[in-house]
Amino acid sequence: MALDGGELGRSAYVGARVSPQRAAIARAADAMTSAFSVDDLLEAVRRQVPGVGAATVYRAVSAMEASGFVESLGVREGSAIYARCHSGEHHHHLVCTGCGAVSDAECPVAPERYTASDGFRVTGHSLVLYGQCAKCQSAPSSISPHGRGGGI
């Protein structure tokens, strides 16, 4: 991944203008190794660019989602959570319920498998896999330290 340099903003997801804020937001999203909420992102971004507004991050996340730079994983504790997509290919995400770590997974869905069913034609799907990462399996299931990227 390592979108080095400062070119993340320009190459990652494109807004018409590449503002310092959006660049920082993209960089922060890219640095996330776990599933994150808009608030997590806002907090991370503000460490780099103080004063960024929440609305800006919401708007940027919408843009990033629309362009496939991040994917929505659903809702956790009332707020939407996202994961950075490291591949342009169609794929899914494995999310650790212990620490929130996210990794890519290939897609097991074959649309043809369902096409017959009632004449229903499958055109898309949404899948998120949950489980425990190696680290969390060996760890003595202590409750995830409440902090960023905490358990899902």
Partner DNA sequence: ATCTGTGCAAAATCTTTGCATTAGC
Partner DNA sequence: GCTAATGCAAAGATTTTGCACAGAT
Residues that bind DNA (CB under 7 A): 10, 15-22, 25, 37-39, 49, 51-56, 58-60, 62-63, 75, 78-80
**Identity of the residue, 22 or 93, whose beta carbon is nearer to DNA in the bound complex:** 22
**Phi, psi (deg, nearest 5) at residue 42:** -60, -45
Q: How far is the CB of 88 from a second copy (least distance, A)?
A: 16
Is there a contact between 95 and 60 (Cβ–Cβ < 8 Å)? Answer: no
In the list a second copy, DNA, none, the entry touching 139 (Cβ below 5 to 8 angstroms by class) is none
Contacts for 141 with CB less than 8 Å, ≥ 6 apart: 98
Strand partners, 102: 95
Is there a contact between 115 and 122 (Cβ–Cβ < 8 Å)? Answer: yes
Residues binding a second copy (CB under 8 A): 65-66, 71-72, 74-75, 80, 94, 96-97, 103, 105, 108-111, 113-114, 117-134, 137, 146, 148-150
